[in-house]
Amino acid sequence: MIDKLVLFLCLTVGTSTTLLAATAPVPAPPQVAANAYLLVDFDSGKVLAERNIDHAIPPASITKIMTSYVVYHELAKNSFALDSLVPVSKKAWRMKGSRMFIEVGDKVSVADLLRGVVIQSGNDASVALAEYVAGSEESFAEIMNIHAQRLGMSNTVYRNSTGWPDGEHVTTARDIVTLSRALIAEFPEHYETYAEREYTFNGIVQYNRNKLLWRDDSVDGVKTGHTQEAGYCLVSSAKRGDMRLIAVVLGAQSEDARVAASRKLLGYGFRFFETHKLYSADQSLSEIRVWKGTAETLAIGLRKDLFVTIPRGQYKKLDAALQVSDAATAPARKYQSLGKVRVTLDGELVEERPLLALQDIAEGNLWQQARDTVLLLFH
């Protein structure tokens, strides 16, 4: 038997772009001059604008988002520290393209090299870090691919740490958003580097190539990229109030075009949508009866925070309902599915998540099991 319980809480509902348009007068997403683009809310993951988001393309220096992500993981594992010194090899020193101008034989701190990767997009810094972490750039690329698969970046293959052109080195707009969300969520203390406009190394002032940092104070990342094969690319993230958006623009015709496209996408998202948090992870939303167990009640809720994105001005039209199993029989396992939460806007279903057990409940003793067996006959 399923019982329905309508919760009168301050909730918000997220949905696809098509459904949002059906519930509020939101204009169609802007068309921007790029081969592929994607606009996503950071917290809810809702897609607000898209084109060719699963089309595999060369990522150029967008690759370095994963390069830094791998290094941050190693720092979190205490494999080394930010002040650890990295020897500069001839391969790193000889790298062409964008550079931070490290010299062969020098020993440069991990912190400085990371700034060289993030701010200056240094190919030399990327290779130096790759060799330090994995012994060789080829082995580092294997680690990059392991992380990509773990994150669900199913259409991405890395062959180097820099984004240097390689026929097999590809990614997609969707995968780039997946990686960018992981970077920001898992390493906020390191992500702050992406907002730095400049830094000085060996007396040379190096400027961040993300020009949006100068044109929009809400922008705090993420990364630029350019090769002849990839065109001009920009991954941007901006936060206004409690709402963060991520925009990916790939294959624009110029630096100005990628900036203009990104600003147009971000402006659209912030102007017409808003994001709210409904529930926290592991928050008890209801309780159900448990039979034959060491406890008689079981709290149920969600495994992850639930954020949703809706058209602006629609907040008061939301309803949320729990559809909950009326009882369970022990043993109950944590995160076992026992119902679902459904959120609607003007009667339209806009979000649905499974309700899960928030704890384990073991089988009771013989007396508890016998007692509940009898009680169940009359339930």
Contact criterion met (CB below 8 Å) for 317 and 345: yes
At residue 47, φ and ψ (nearest 5 deg) are -85, 125
User: Catalytic one among 44, 61, 68, 89?
Assistant: 61
User: Catalytic one among 46, 64, 223, 264?
Assistant: 64
Closest alpha carbon to 288 in 352, 337, 235: 337
Q: How far apart are CA 324 and CA 262, in angstroms?
A: 43
What residues have CB less than 8 Å from 284, skipping those under 6 apart? 299, 300, 301, 358
What residues have CB less than 8 Å from 378, skipping those under 6 apart? none
Look-up of token digits 């928030």: 358
Closest alpha carbon to 66 in 160, 167, 189, 197: 160
Q: Between helices 123-134 and 64-76, what is the axis angle to 10°?
A: 40
211 is catalytic: no
Q: Where are the alpha helices (DSSP H) in 16-99?
A: 17-23, 64-76, 90-94
Q: How far apart are CA 257 and CA 224, in angstroms?
A: 12
User: Catalytic one among 68, 89, 98, 121?
Assistant: 121
61 is catalytic: yes
Q: How far apart are CA 157 and CA 179, in angstroms?
A: 13
Count CB neighbours of 313 within 10 A. 11
325 is catalytic: no
Cα torsion 143, 63, 136, 84 to 10°: value is -90
Active site residues: 61, 64, 121
